[in-house]
């Protein structure tokens, strides 16, 4: 380390302060490290100074700790040393997307009979790029194939498609039959499978295919907060800083054909067979939830992981408070401990309100 040359954080390394500890989020390498709040404060207050100067500011009482901190930062390539500190600007934390709707969820079940092709045509005019199709009971592969065929044959703006469907006897043959035909499919999750298996994309199949023994009984399964879903990349991080990390620019259709922000949410905005999507997104009641960022949500705003985490406004700890913490989050930023949200007695009232008893039962 060069203790007599000023230090700078690499621009892609963003500091996030929580109530009891902080994180360094490396948005280039998708790397997240937990650090003490003391180190966060030291970096914020002293970037552009030399290590020698920083030691002197603390009257050389904490030289060993300061050296340990900076050795950690240097070894992990979070900082560099330069005399030209002013020529390295900060990254902009602005977020923008030209699409009116950039992602959509369409749910179908054995009774769904709404006009999905009409929805796809409207999503195209809204420049939607990502589509998730979810089937929670008997797999309706005929509808899935109709959707994928339409996307293949039309000049659709949708670039990627995820499919969620239950395991059935000939599913492997079905996947083989569609993998070359429908190249926009990039992820297929097969649940209630007799085995767990991950198949990564290769020359024979573009899609990532996951078989899981886990069961997704309905849209009630949505909204779980987990470290497994953390993502430290520039696009997701900046969106989280400015907008809702789950619902921003999202429009969904539930299994009954009702237009919603998310299929799990209570509020609906009419039947997709009689209401235009364009009219729904002009409704401020529909779009206001897009602006509920993590810095506005109770508890989340004190969490060191808030900008690499997902969010859920469908199920909250206080159903009457739109800024309440996600119900299915078991993390406490004050104690830095994770617990099982489904067994927390303080959440029982909300679990009952949302009728989530079925998804909290242990197999």
- Mean per-residue pLDDT pooled into runs of 10, the chain (363 residues): 93 98 97 98 96 96 96 97 91 95 96 94 96 91 90 88 95 87 90 94 84 93 94 96 97 97 96 97 96 97 97 96 96 97 94 91 63
Q: Which two tokens stand for residue 197?
A: 């298996």
Q: For residue 316, what are the contacts with CB-CB under 8 A and spacing of at least 6?
A: 322, 324, 325, 326, 327, 350
Within 13 Å of residue 229, how many CA atoms lie on the same side as its CB?
14
Q: Which two tokens stand for residue 153?
A: 């044959």
Question: Which residues in 212-346 belong to E strands, given as ranges?
Answer: 250-253, 259-260, 331-332, 337-338
Q: What is the pLDDT of residue 362?
A: 62
User: Is the CB of residue 226 less than 8 Å from the CB of residue 207?
Assistant: no
Comparing C-alpha atoms, which of 321, 323, 223 is closest to residue 264? 223
User: Is the CB of residue 9 less than 8 Å from the CB of residue 15?
Assistant: yes
């Amino acid at each position: 380390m060069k203790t007599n040359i000023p230090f700078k954080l690499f621009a892609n390394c963003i500091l996030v302060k929580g109530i009891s500890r902080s994180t360094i989020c490396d948005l280039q390498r998708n790397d997240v490290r937990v650090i003490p709040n003391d180190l966060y404060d030291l970096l914020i207050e002293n970037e552009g100074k030399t290590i020698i100067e920083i030691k002197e500011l603390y009257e050389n009482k904490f030289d060993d700790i300061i050296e340990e901190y900076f050795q950690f930062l240097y070894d992990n390539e979070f900082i560099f040393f330069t005399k030209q500190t002013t020529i390295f600007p900060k990254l902009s934390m602005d977020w923008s997307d030209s699409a009116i709707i950039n992602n959509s969820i369409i749910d179908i079940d054995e009774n769904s009979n709404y006009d999905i092709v009409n929805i796809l045509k409207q999503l195209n005019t809204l420049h939607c790029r990502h589509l998730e199709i979810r089937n929670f009971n008997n797999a309706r592969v005929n509808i899935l194939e109709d959707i994928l065929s339409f996307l293949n044959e039309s000049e659709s703006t949708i670039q990627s498609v995820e499919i969620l469907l239950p395991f059935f006897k000939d599913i492997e043959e079905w996947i083989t039959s569609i993998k070359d035909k429908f190249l926009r499919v990039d992820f297929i999750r097969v649940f209630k499978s007799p085995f767990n298996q991950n198949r990564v994309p290769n020359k024979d199949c573009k899609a990532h295919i996951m078989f899981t023994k886990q069961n997704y009984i309905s849209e009630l399964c949505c909204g779980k907060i987990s470290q497994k879903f953390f993502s430290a990349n520039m696009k997701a991080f900046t969106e989280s800083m400015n907008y809702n990390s789950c619902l921003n620019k999202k429009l969904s259709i539930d299994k009954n054909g009702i237009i919603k922000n998310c299929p799990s949410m209570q509020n609906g905005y009419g039947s997709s067979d009689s209401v235009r999507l364009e009219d729904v997104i002009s409704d401020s009641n529909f779009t206001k939830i897009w602006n509920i960022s993590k810095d506005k949500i109770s508890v989340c705003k004190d969490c060191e992981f808030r900008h690499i985490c997902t969010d859920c406004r469908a199920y909250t700890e206080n159903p009457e408070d739109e800024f309440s913490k996600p119900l299915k989050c078991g993390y406490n930023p004050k104690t830095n401990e994770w617990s099982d949200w489904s067994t927390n007695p303080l959440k029982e009232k909300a679990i009952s309100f949302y009728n989530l008893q079925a998804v909290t039962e242990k197999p």
